[in-house]
Amino acid sequence: MVRWGSLPCSSLLTAIVYLLLLPGWTLAEEQAAFDCHVSTEGANFDLTGLSGEHTLNRTRNTPPTKMVDSLRFNLCSDLKPQEDVAEGDQCPKGARACLTSVNQKSQESDRIISVITLAMASSTRSVTAGLSDPKFISILFAGPEYSSPSESTPTKQFLNVTVHCDPNSKSDPIFLSYDDSLLALEWRAPGGCPSEQSPEPPKDHDDKDDPKEENVGSGLGWFFLVILLAFAAYFGLGAYYNYSTYGARGKDLIPHRDFWQEVPYMLKDVISHLCSSVHPRRSSRGGYVAV
């Protein structure tokens, strides 16, 4: 007897459902390295003009010391390691934005207090765009978590880059704020102006793996679509054949009706067999407990 609600069966079914969903799932999870080309619904943005490494400092007075929060970032390619800084005092490979807090005290050498990665090349991102006044693009990078000793739980880090449209000139970026989780950065540049959507979105030059992955995903989609269409054609033509040849009506229209009526029972048998081998249980036929 198959108990549908019992654990092994439901977990088996869950596993099957996950397996079917998996391809679409991993596609959504993985982000290609950010290449400064952004396509939103209705417009493209080209932020390559903002490439290059920038450093922004913010100083806080914490007598008798001073804290310098130093943000080093490059939106379009990975930050290069700094040669004069110990490896442990730097953000990891692939970082695009790195916030270092340095404590300064007169007559003493500087002390690095914290090194926080705000964005990685492949950080998940969400985009907000203004397509008519005001024109802008805002990209929120969700970076890794940072565990500071004062917080009991690690804090997820975000970098919010807003580029306001200025067709004629480029300003310097401004460090607006940082609240231990979200750093806001602002800019005025031509890159913040939307351009009309071209029929083909700009190609990812850096990341050659991405198109392949999409092919795998859409290939799988095609596979299921073809199977679905084949089934539809089979039932449609079969029903038409039964109708025109035997004048069948209602349930009798189903081609190979005897076989399809058996299918639910066959499935039930298969699942009960699988379930009993996953988790041995009392069999209704034998009445013994399988080992």
Ligand X SMILES: *[C@@H]1O[C@H](CO)[C@@H](O)[C@H](O)[C@H]1NC(C)=O
- Report the site for ligand X in 194-213 (rule: CB under 6 A): none
Minimum distance, C-beta of residue 160 to ligand X, in the bound complex (Å):
4
Position among 74, 123, 157, 160 found at the interface with ligand X (CB under 6 A): 160
- Report the site for ligand X in 61-80 (rule: CB under 6 A): 68, 70
Q: How far apart, in whole angstroms, are the C-alpha atoms of residue 232 and residue 287?
A: 43
Minimum distance, C-beta of residue 121 to ligand X, in the bound complex (Å):
20
Q: Helix and strand tally (H, E) in the chain? A: 3, 12
Task: Say if strands 155-165 and 182-189 run parallel, antiparallel, or are unpaired.
Answer: parallel
Is residue 40 within the footprint of ligand X (CB under 6 A)? no
- Site size toward ligand X (CB under 6 A) is 10
Minimum distance, C-beta of residue 1 to ligand X, in the bound complex (Å):
54
Position among 6, 55, 124, 195 found at the interface with ligand X (CB under 6 A): 55
Tokens 């417009």 correspond to 43
Is residue 157 within the footprint of ligand X (CB under 6 A)? no
Which CB atom, from 85 or from 290, has the smaller least distance to ligand X?
85
Is residue 102 within the footprint of ligand X (CB under 6 A)? yes
Q: Tell me the residue ranges of DSSP E strands in the chain.
A: 37-40, 43-46, 54-62, 65-73, 95-104, 111-120, 124-130, 136-146, 155-165, 174-178, 182-189, 195-196
Q: How far apart, in whole angstroms, are the C-alpha atoms of residue 99 and residue 250?
A: 70
Count CA atoms closer than 13 A to 225's CA, side-chain side: 6
Is residue 114 within the footprint of ligand X (CB under 6 A)? no
Taken in order 64, 65, 67, 68, is the CA torsion positive or negative?
Answer: positive
Query: Position 267: which residue type?
Result: L
Is residue 140 within the footprint of ligand X (CB under 6 A)? yes
Position among 2, 184, 253, 254 found at the interface with ligand X (CB under 6 A): 184
Which residues bind to ligand X, rule: CB under 6 A?
Answer: 55, 57, 68, 70, 102, 138, 140, 160, 162, 184
